[in-house]
Amino acid sequence: KAGVTQTPRYLIKTRGQQVTLSCSPISGHRSVSWYQQTPGQGLQFLFEYFSETQRNKGNFPGRFSGRQFSNSRSEMNVSTLELGDSALYLCASSARRPSTDTQYFGPGTRLTVL
């Protein structure tokens, strides 16, 4: 089975722009979670999607949004980028909700905001 894939792997943007990141889960997995990792804050939960519905959202501003498609692929969008949004963005998929199942992580998208 192919693993979790994320595109693009690297991205450079400037302040004020918006960005869309993509995550393709393992085939058959219905849950996709997104995480932000920075040197200062470590790993933080962004949101979780299950069967095309956002089930949980972490403590992030409304500039961070996402969606999940019928094939379970997920996208996250960050609008009006700030310097502090520079981070590694990771997605993880699981067959069931994360509380009851092992998550498989993608390689991440490294976003740099200049």
Query: How far apart are the C-alpha atoms of 29 and 61, rounded to whole Å?
Result: 27
Contact status: 30 vs other proteins (CB under 8 A): no
Which class for 9: exposed (0-12), middle (13-18), buried (19 or more C-beta within 10 A)? exposed
Provide the minimum distance between the beta carbon of 39 and other proteins in the complex, in angstroms, as a whole number: 11
| Contact flags string 65-104 toward other proteins, x per CB under 8 A | -----------------------x-x-x----xxx-xxxx
Token reading at 56: 């949980």
The size of the chain, in residues, is 114
DSSP code for 89: E
Q: What Rg, from alpha-carbon coordinates, does the chain have? A: 13
Q: How far is the CB of 104 from other proteins (least distance, A)?
A: 7
- Which region among 21-29, 55-63, 65-73, 76-84 touches other proteins (by CB under 8 A)? 55-63
C-alpha to C-alpha distances, 27 to 48, 50, 53, nearest whole angstrom? 17, 14, 18
Q: Which of 28, 42, 53, 62 binds other proteins (CB under 8 A)?
A: 42
Residues at the site binding other proteins, with contacts judged by CB under 8 A: 33, 35, 37, 42-45, 48, 55-56, 58, 88, 90, 92, 97-99, 101-105, 107-108, 110
